[in-house]
Structure 1
Amino acid sequence: MVKPIIGITGGVLTNAGPFQGYHRSYVNEDYVQAVIANGGVPVIIPVTSNEEVIKSQINTVDAVILSGGNDIDPRNYHENTTQESGDLMPSRDWFDLQVVQLAERANKPILGICRGAQIINVAHGGSLYQDLKYRQHTSLQHLYHDHPDQVTQTISINTGSKLAHIFDQTKLAINSFHHQAIHRLGRHLQATAWAEDGVIEGFESPQQAIIGVQWHPEMLYRREKTMDRLFQALINQAQGERR
């Protein structure tokens, strides 16, 4: 059986190595290893401004993982940038939005992780809290920089949702590395998982094979084997599309 090809959207490093300001395409290796461990063939999709190249990239893969990274430019959801907004890269935003649009049009399964979930939401007309302090309710600590492979929160998952079916439970221990969060949920998306403070931690599309999670399952899958199920679900869907 030919293994499905899973495209992982890349980021851009500009401050690593001896040549400061030199652009490097990359993804954290955890994404790559999580795909391999669960039966997929990972392919890194580098950021590009060439629309024909992006179309070819999406046509080549069987499913897409939108990876984490820098904050999304608030202009993409019609807001001005506040002081709490972090590092922005409009060129990557544009690329990721094209990837979402083309992957959806081609009915490719999509998994958005952290920033990846947020970009799906923005692509569907949703918005973000530029910082959790702007929420009306008191927020828990969601930005843990150390020990990415340790769980720090427990989320609730809606019974009957895709996420509940994948994990076979409605309570799940996760890690957390974000200072922004979904504010207004985008069109045709349904929130299905929440932190104890009400922050949306997972959503899905009832109509398409789209799931977004705010946590980082790729950093957890070695110690928390339950996280394998999320990658297995994506890869199984991709295998079905390949047939």
Structure 2
Amino acid sequence: MIKPIIGILGNTYKTTPAKFSSSKREYVNSDYVEAVLNNGGMPIAVPSVSMLDDPESALSFCDGILVPGGEDVSPWYYGEEPSPGIQTIRPEIDEAWMAAGRYALEKKIPMLGICKGIQFLNVLCGGTLYQDLYLQREGSILHMQSLERSYLFHHVDIRKDTYLAGILGEGKHAVNSMHHQAVRELGRNLTVSAVAPDGTVEAIESSDGQIVAVQWHPEGLIHTAPEMNKLFADLVRRSEAYHNR
């Protein structure tokens, strides 16, 4: 049986100058690749330059899409100027992902968003973000842990009767946390499916089942919190159904 193809949206970095100078590279984190592969999908890195140039050709072979973590989303996409708390913005990456996201929405390709991915998908659907939780949301707990992504850091509460509850179960779950931005106003056709103890949105989903997105990094927890594999297995199932539609 052919595995469903999961396109992982790519990012770029520039290597440190050395003997043969530096070069720009397209990449996806290996944790995403492992998580998709171990749960029945075939992961494919989708270069940002190809998404920007021709999103249809870049994604037409994908049965599902994983929108990974990354730098901050430009506030221009939700009608704001940058606040003092905003960090690195990559306009070329945002524009490439926006082109890919618009195509995916139009074609109803199943998507799983992670960290920046939840923020990006909310903005793609017309929502807004807290540019910095600690400056804009009073009473926030710490959402930026140190050291390993495999560490569990705080809890989230998954709401009853949500799609996410069907995947992981309702109630309290321990997660990792590496972000300073978060969903503020929800985008179109999206609902909140999990929150942190301080009320910060930790997961969203779309009413049609196309989008599932979490603020934590489940790809870093597939060994220390094996239940997180279910998020990737669900993406693979949704992608298989999309392929066979």
TM-score normalised by the shorter chain: which range applies?
over 0.9
1:168 CA drift (Å): 2.3
1:49 CA drift (Å): 6.3
* Cα distance in 2 for residues equivalent to 1:86 and 1:207: 33
* Cα distance in 2 for residues equivalent to 1:142 and 1:15: 29
Change in Cα spacing, 1:52 to 1:35, as seen in structure 2 (3 Å) is same
Task: Give the paired residue count.
Answer: 243
Q: Is the CA contact (8 Å cut-off) linking 1:48 and 1:54 kept in structure 2? A: no
Match of 1:165 in 2: 166
Q: Please show how residues 1-243 of structure 1 align to structure 2 within 5 Å.
A: 1-16=1-16, 18=18, 22-48=23-49, 53-243=54-244
Which consecutive residues of structure 2, in runs of 5 or more, have no partner in the other structure? none
* Post-superposition CA distance 1:184-210 (Å, at most 9, x none): 111111011000000000000012420
Q: TM-score, normalised by structure 1?
A: 0.95
1:222 CA drift (Å): 1.5
1:223 CA drift (Å): 1.6
* Cα distance in 1 for residues equivalent to 2:243 and 2:215: 28
* Cα distance in 2 for residues equivalent to 1:84 and 1:132: 9
* Cα distance in 1 for residues equivalent to 2:15 and 2:177: 24
Change in Cα spacing, 1:136 to 1:224, as seen in structure 2 (3 Å) is closer
Q: Is the CA contact (8 Å cut-off) linking 1:66 and 1:116 kept in structure 2? A: yes
* Post-superposition CA distance 1:156-201 (Å, at most 9, x none): 0110101100012322110000011111111111011000000000
Q: Is the CA contact (8 Å cut-off) linking 1:156 and 1:172 kept in structure 2? A: yes
1:105 CA drift (Å): 1.1
* Cα distance in 2 for residues equivalent to 1:2 and 1:181: 37
Q: Is the CA contact (8 Å cut-off) linking 1:149 and 1:223 kept in structure 2? A: yes
* Post-superposition CA distance 1:123-176 (Å, at most 9, x none): 111111111123343100000131210111110011010110001232211000
Q: TM-score, normalised by structure 2?
A: 0.94
**SS of equivalent to 1:60:** coil
* Cα distance in 2 for residues equivalent to 1:146 and 1:27: 20
